[in-house]
Chains A and B, each alone.
Chain A
Amino acid sequence: MHDTIPNPASILPLRVERLCFADAQARLLEDVSFAIPRGGLTIVLGANGAGKSLLMRLCQGLLAPTSGAVAWNAQPEGFSRHAMVFQKPVMLRRSARGNVLHALAASGVARAGRAGRADAALQRFGLADLSERPARLLSGGEQQRLAIARAVAAGPEILFLDEPTSHLDPGATLQVEQMLGGLKRDGVTLVMTTHDMGQARRLADRVLFMHKGRLIEDAAAHTFFEGPAAAEARAFLAGDLLW
């Protein structure tokens, strides 16, 4: 299922090794290890406060771990080969197109190539008609689609998504999920947190189940949903089924 032959030029697989993170009050992430090979969509599942968002931020490099390491196969230069989409996207005070152009410039894409790539990204995610609209006046769903278009415009190998649909209505959620399916088919590796069980079942190839800052279970999606090994995961699934 996964492409396990590492490409020497690729930054993947990503190896997270014995990752710990503590703030002044508490240890929030405890001894988390796993590897992300190329391809596929991995869902990080868990209740609020399990440490899912924190894990995404550590992987993207927004935070430095207290101990342990986030190790890439080949050290990426800059931030063009791994990108991140947040739960509430930050829209710059520019047009939709301006937001994409800004991300391309920041990722080091040469000036001559930016316009073409921006227009292609907007076109692909159905934002071409909105490209000159101020980004902050777009609807929630449009903003999140723009956030994804912006994140992948420079062509990253891996995309981290932190609860990208938790603020969206079912229609917008469906559009985002279709976008992610397309990215997966194009070979972009996706790692995404969610607490929406339905979404996890629809999208996941693999599930990382977290509980209270620890990684409890790491399994292929069909194995996990048929019967998780860990008691916490079973309880979580049961609670979700009642809901």
Chain B
Amino acid sequence: MTNTRRRHLAAWLCAASLFCAPAFAQQRSITVASTTSTMDSGLFEHLLPLFKARTGVDVRVLSQGTGQALDTGRRGDADVVFVHAREAEEKFVAEGFGLRRRPVMYNDFVLIGPKADPAGVAGGKDIAAALNALVGKQAPFVSRGDRSGTHQAELALWRAAGVDLTAARGAWYREIGQGMGAALNTAGAMGAYVLADRGTWLSFRNKGDLAILVEGDRRMFNQYGVMLVNPARHAHVRQADGQAFIDWLTSPDGQAAIAAYKVGGQQLFFPNATDPGA
């Protein structure tokens, strides 16, 4: 209305446009729904620049639990799903949500617990015996409880140990419904035991009084698979670039890159794309 008023308005709009003006540029990219373990361990930060340098494709990674990542794929909100729960993956493909599942690599789970080790399981290699000892001592145990691959692996290990969780469950068994990092933070704070993937454990910064107590049991190996979301179901899926990512991961080049990733001198993921049974 007045000159002053127009000047004020202009100043306001300038200030506002400062924030809003730069457009959110979109380049050639695919969205991969994956798990917290691959993200939190730093593997993707190692792999993605290599893939981008080779193909120019930007990979946007959603780090979710395995169950949630598969749901994201089912809804068509991702192009590629890269998770670790073989049964669930095969069901996903069988239902027509994904194309062929390809094995990529494995890592292993470790049983983490307080250094004081009230259940006395330290140094063992037999995860079934260790879990039974926890039940016997009613030692506090933190479960992810979030349908993630790690959660499903944990449940499978209880079954392998012959423990009926529905019967044995008590105040000692604490489901937190959160990611691996949160579970480790919680276990550290409560002096509890927890099952974790080695990668997340190694790169976790808040170890406090926690330590690896049980490792090396073959039943604790953890297989990762990758699959393209079915373009027949979701037409917008970026099939060519998605398939290129899968092909690269399972190629000798990609497999070598996975093997080369180390934290504190330790290899975290072991490529096995050529193993037909994986």
Contact = CB atoms under 8 A, between A and B. Distances in A.
B4 to A, nearest CB: 8
B1 interface: yes
Interface stretch (A59-67, A97-105, A139-147, A206-214): A97-105
Nearest to A102: B1
From DSSP, what is the main secondary structure of chain A's interface residues?
A: helix
Interface residues of A, number: 5
Contacts of A98: 1-2, 4-5
Contacts of A102: 1
Interface string A96-123: 0110011001000000000000000000
A105 B4 CA distance: 15
Nearest to A94: B2
B78 to A, nearest CB: 53
A102 B4 CA distance: 13
Interface in B1-37: 1-2, 4-5
Contacts of A97: 2
A98 B4 CA distance: 9
Contacts of A101: 1-2
A30 B5 CA distance: 47
A238 to B, nearest CB: 52
Nearest to A104: B1
A40 B4 CA distance: 39
9 contacts: A97-B2, A98-B1, A98-B2, A98-B4, A98-B5, A101-B1, A101-B2, A102-B1, A105-B1
Interface of B: 1-2, 4-5
Query: 9 tightest CB-CB pairs across the interface, nearest first?
Result: A101-B2, A105-B1, A98-B2, A101-B1, A102-B1, A97-B2, A98-B4, A98-B5, A98-B1
